Amino acid sequence: MSPLVTSENRDGTPESPIVKRILLGDPLASENADEHLLPKRMALPIFASDALSSVAYAPQEMLMILLAGGLAFLAFAPWVAAAVVLLLVVVVLSYRQLIRAYPSGGGDYEVARTNLGEVPGVIVASALLVDYILTVAVSTASGVDNIISAVPALNPWRVELAVGCVALIVVVNLRGVREASRAFAIPTYVFVGSVGVMVVTGLLRTAVGAAPVAASAHYVVHAQSISQAAVILLLLRAFSSGCSALTGVEAVANGVQAFRRPKIRNARATLVMLGGIATLMFAGLVALALISRVQYAQDPCDLQGFDCHTPQPSLMAQLAAATFGAASIPFFIVQAATACVLLLAANTAFNGFPLLGAVLARDGYAPKALNTRGDRLVYSNGMIVLGVAAIVVLLVYEANLSNLIQLYIIGVFVSFSLGQIGMIRHWIRGLRRIRSLPDDARAQQSAQRQRQSFKRGLAINSLGATITSAVLVIVTITKFTHGAWLVFLAIPILSTLMMGVYRYYRDVDHETRMDDTVHFGSAGDVALILVNRLQKPVVKALDYALAARHEKTLALHVAVTKDESAALRKAWQQHRMPVPLITIESPFRSYAGPVIEFIKKYREEHGSSVVTVYLPQYIVGHWWERILHNRRARRMAQQLMLVHGVTITLVPWLLDSSELIYGRRSRPVPGQARAGFPTSPEPHYDHEPRRR
């Protein structure tokens, strides 16, 4: 019935590239990659938005846990907060060392892999990937929380809002890193500024005796009476939740390569700025919350006096309302900036995740597609994977911040700890190397300086490793049964997958590597042109096969019905085709089977090693045309390619429909037309030789 051809559309609908351009901007050349490096003032908001924005929820979650024990527990709040700040300082100092030693952008992953081996490296990578996903989910959930605190009418669309925000961030990020940074710098600075003003205003009001009072100050909390052991556990849990303020600090270390030169100095300076600002904001917000006596409960129905069918305002909203007055303009500025910076914090992950993915792909632990830069110099595939994963998490947890935060931080502290332990190993190795240096005066002096620096690094990272490991233990104990077990499941699974991917690539590489068995000299090649009906696409395929001057060229017909075969043989003689037509019977209406049989028999008789099967293939202009063409050729190609020594040559036949769309015409112009292939009116495709 139909010719032995199948259809092939262009890479998508013709509109899609235009839509892509509008959404994502014009493609960028590789040489411009340097121009896209970030100056400090841009890098700070990009890499710091995660760490800074986490102060929007860390105090809230910390105080929430303390309040679960009763009002009296708030007395511990300053101490818990101090512990968190201390930890933050230690981590910042540790990461300054790490940036200096490993500026290539792999961060904890690279440190762990280089110093501790493959498995710890992969574990760190898995932990970080999980945490990037959770960063997006937690930041978005908290951002939506703050939007709803300002506009409670949006409460029914909490999940939809969160998912929509993630989708928006993905699109913005696919546009490329610099546009993203520009858009993201302003809200981060507005957030830091407005929270600063709020804290200062609140403290000043307290100093003049008009301390702000939160709307929730007079609610009565149902306190559980708890034992002494539970007191300690409660404090530790509060500390664990407060530690969420630390998330995002590692982002700078993972993104050193995105900084403008001098990369290392700029990255370290940015890290210190980030640490300072985060410390001030965290301490200020906790102080303000204690002064204004904010009450925040995991289950808002525990707050006597609060209508728990309405959304509970976030800590940030309560503070802003208490300081500036509810529904005042500064209140809305603080809420808008908080929501923005939280949503944009998700953006940090969209810088870090694809970079880490690309590093993993480069090292062979992740699919190579993650190391493919898109048109706009960003690792598009990684961003899409991250966006989808975050949306799934948000849907599963219904964008509930307090539940999501239970999964959070584990990954961060896994990578913190392994990274710091790796750094200890790094400095010890460095010191050993210096010791083994030759006994030269000048070298000794320089080695002396280096040894000092290494020893300092060793001391700082040892402290960091000890403290972060201790915190990891605390976090694990206090959060495991609250949902964190899921993370402990995800990290080994991801690690195992990565090891599997690595082994797979290694095997494929081994299989395809050049070795002594590689020789040339295949011979006895034969070309088979598959023919179903004598039509122009078949003639074109035949013409091309003849042009390639194979040793032997045969036309092959699989006969399913007798009428068709007879008609073909008649037409073949009539048009005096220059190649013999071989007809093979197919009792089971299979097309590939008899062809494979024929190739097998032909080889037995002629000892041919290379068989080239020519398949005409229609190129169509519209997706729906594919429905109207058989997929027979495609299926045939897939089956024939499983036979050793067979190659498939696809000879495209552009239908008029495809030509119209791509602005060309194939209908042969009388007198000008030539040999099977359509002529084209444009000069640059029309270079077929004129000799006949």
Using CB under 8 A as the binding rule, whether residue 501 contacts its own copies is answered as: yes
User: Least Å distance between CB 508 and its own copies?
Assistant: 6
Q: Which is nearer to its own copies, 218 or 506 (CB)?
A: 506
Residues in contact with its own copies, counted by CB under 8 A, come to a total of: 121
What span, in angstroms and rounded, lies between the C-alpha atoms of 531 and 581? 9
Using CB under 8 A as the binding rule, whether residue 512 contacts its own copies is answered as: yes
Ranges within 266-325 binding its own copies (CB under 8 A): none
Ranges within 337-376 binding its own copies (CB under 8 A): 361-362, 367-369, 371-373, 375
Ranges within 195-224 binding its own copies (CB under 8 A): none
Using CB under 8 A as the binding rule, whether residue 645 contacts its own copies is answered as: yes
User: Least Å distance between CB 182 and its own copies?
Assistant: 23
Contact partners, residue 410, CB within 8 Å, separation at least 6: 127, 131, 472, 475, 476, 479, 484, 487, 488
Using CB under 8 A as the binding rule, whether residue 264 contacts its own copies is answered as: no
- The answer to whether 132 and 166 are in contact (CB under 8 A) is no
User: Least Å distance between CB 1 and its own copies?
Assistant: 6
Using CB under 8 A as the binding rule, whether residue 507 contacts its own copies is answered as: yes
**What number of other Cβ atoms are within 10 A of residue 542's Cβ?**
23
What span, in angstroms and rounded, lies between the C-alpha atoms of 49 and 340? 10
Q: Which is nearer to its own copies, 41 or 368 (CB)?
A: 368
User: Least Å distance between CB 257 and its own copies?
Assistant: 15
Q: Which is nearer to its own copies, 442 or 684 (CB)?
A: 684
Q: Which string of x and - marks every residue 452-491 that binds its own copies (by CB under 8 A)?
A: ----------------------------------------
Using CB under 8 A as the binding rule, whether residue 647 contacts its own copies is answered as: yes
**524 burial via Cβ count (<10 Å: 0-12, 13-18, 19+):** middle
Stretch that binds its own copies, among 170-178, 236-244, 338-346, 498-506 (CB under 8 A): 498-506
- The answer to whether 93 and 109 are in contact (CB under 8 A) is no
Contact partners, residue 215, CB within 8 Å, separation at least 6: 313, 318, 321, 322, 326
Ranges within 567-586 binding its own copies (CB under 8 A): 571, 575, 578
Q: Which is nearer to its own copies, 36 or 100 (CB)?
A: 36
Using CB under 8 A, pick the residue from 4, 6, 8, 235 that binds its own copies: 8
User: Least Å distance between CB 408 and its own copies?
Assistant: 28
Using CB under 8 A as the binding rule, whether residue 518 contacts its own copies is answered as: yes
User: Least Å distance between CB 37 and its own copies?
Assistant: 17
Q: Is the peptide bond before 262 cis (omega within 30 degrees of 0)?
A: yes
Q: Which of 582, 538, 578, 532 is nearest to 556 (CA)?
A: 582
What span, in angstroms and rounded, lies between the C-alpha atoms of 635 and 648? 12
Ranges within 51-80 binding its own copies (CB under 8 A): none
Report the half-sphere exposure of 350 (CA within 13 A, side-chain side).
34
User: Least Å distance between CB 601 and its own copies?
Assistant: 9
Q: How far is CA 191 from CA 183, 490, 540, 641, in A?
A: 14, 34, 67, 60
Backbone φ and ψ of 582, nearest 5°: -110, 130
Ranges within 23-42 binding its own copies (CB under 8 A): 27-31
- The answer to whether 245 and 351 are in contact (CB under 8 A) is no
Q: Which is nearer to its own copies, 446 or 561 (CB)?
A: 561
**What number of other Cβ atoms are within 10 A of residue 314's Cβ?**
27
Stretch that binds its own copies, among 180-188, 423-431, 432-440, 636-644 (CB under 8 A): 636-644
Ranges within 600-619 binding its own copies (CB under 8 A): 600, 603-604, 607-610, 612, 617-619
Using CB under 8 A, pick the residue from 210, 329, 523, 563 that binds its own copies: 523
Q: Which of 558, 554, 546, 557 is nearest to 526 (CA)?
A: 554
User: Least Å distance between CB 546 and its own copies?
Assistant: 6
Question: Angle of helix 329-363 relative to helix 380-396, nearest 10 degrees?
Answer: 120
Using CB under 8 A as the binding rule, whether residue 379 contacts its own copies is answered as: no
Q: How far is CA 598 from CA 213, 291, 441, 488, in A?
A: 90, 89, 80, 56
User: Least Å distance between CB 282 and its own copies?
Assistant: 42
Using CB under 8 A as the binding rule, whether residue 627 contacts its own copies is answered as: yes
Using CB under 8 A as the binding rule, whether residue 535 contacts its own copies is answered as: yes
User: Least Å distance between CB 377 and its own copies?
Assistant: 8
Q: Which is nearer to its own copies, 439 or 604 (CB)?
A: 604
Using CB under 8 A as the binding rule, whether residue 388 contacts its own copies is answered as: no
Q: How far is CA 558 from CA 573, 591, 597, 629, 651, in A?
A: 17, 6, 11, 18, 19
Using CB under 8 A as the binding rule, whether residue 684 contacts its own copies is answered as: yes
Using CB under 8 A as the binding rule, whether residue 667 contacts its own copies is answered as: yes
* Residue indicated by tokens 């300086």: 449
Enumerate the β-bridge partners of residue 612. 527, 647
Q: How far is CA 445 from CA 111, 434, 448, 643, in A?
A: 28, 11, 5, 68
User: Least Å distance between CB 685 and its own copies?
Assistant: 5
